[in-house]
Structure 1
Amino acid sequence: MEDYHMGYDYKKEYIRWKEWKDREEKILRQHHFNEQKIEELHEFDLEQFNAERRFRRNQNVTKDIFFYMQPVHDKKESYSIEDLLDQIENETLFEYLKYTDSIVLDIIILKQHGYNVREISQILGLSMSSIYRKIKKIKELLKM
């Protein structure tokens, strides 16, 4: 299982990507593929790798035990804001959520139902950075 407390290891992932890319380019050259096309593919794949890296680096901010989706057989799932508030044991977090705007509560409920930040952004019509900021504030309250 992936360790969610570790950041994205760019160097390790780049080495893995580079090894894969070298094998692919070797095969293309063995089949006399155009060298210019090989270079264009290399640049395209590198752009895709970097886009994934940026996404994965930003994604870590939402990984916390608070958002883990684990099967719970003896508890009812949170489907409403009232249910969510009833389940919170951290008093500071409870007070914050009790008086916060409904968008924060919607974000939490959507996260609990497995939506990612990009999907939540589309559903609520907010920027992804705004959602990340709200989640970060909740995480800070959880540490108190």
Structure 2
Amino acid sequence: MAYNHRRAEIEWLNWKEKEEKQLRELGVDEDTIQRLHTYDWQQFNKERQYQQRWRDELEEIEQQEEQLPPVRTVEDLLDEIGNEQLFDILRKADKLTLEILLMRMEGYSDSEIAHMMDLDKYAVSMRIYRLRKKLKKYF
């Protein structure tokens, strides 16, 4: 759900009124209450700006993902790579490792991949580990 500034502002004002009422009952002077109000308002605005930026960035990422063609096969994965070193490393990897990599990119866990490919979870993890180790040598 999108960030609703007006609703958040109303909730903040209600919370602040209750807090200020309690402070007055405790005998806190009006100057201190006003400084707290100003500080809390600044913090509220910082949070609002953060929420707005986060939402904008999320929408931008989603739009970029929609524009990218889906990578469905190992061949598609290799075709999408623009870096020569990365391409060479992946081209030399065996097909099973590339299929595991593709499934990881799709969001599957090692356990799920192991179950679907009838492998041990450790074998899946080791293949990813070895590929990552090769990649770290070059990058």
TM-score (norm 1): 0.46
- Larger RCO (CA within 8 A; separation ≥ 6): 1
* Bigger-Rg structure (1/2): 2
Task: Specify which structure has the higher proportion of helix.
Answer: 2
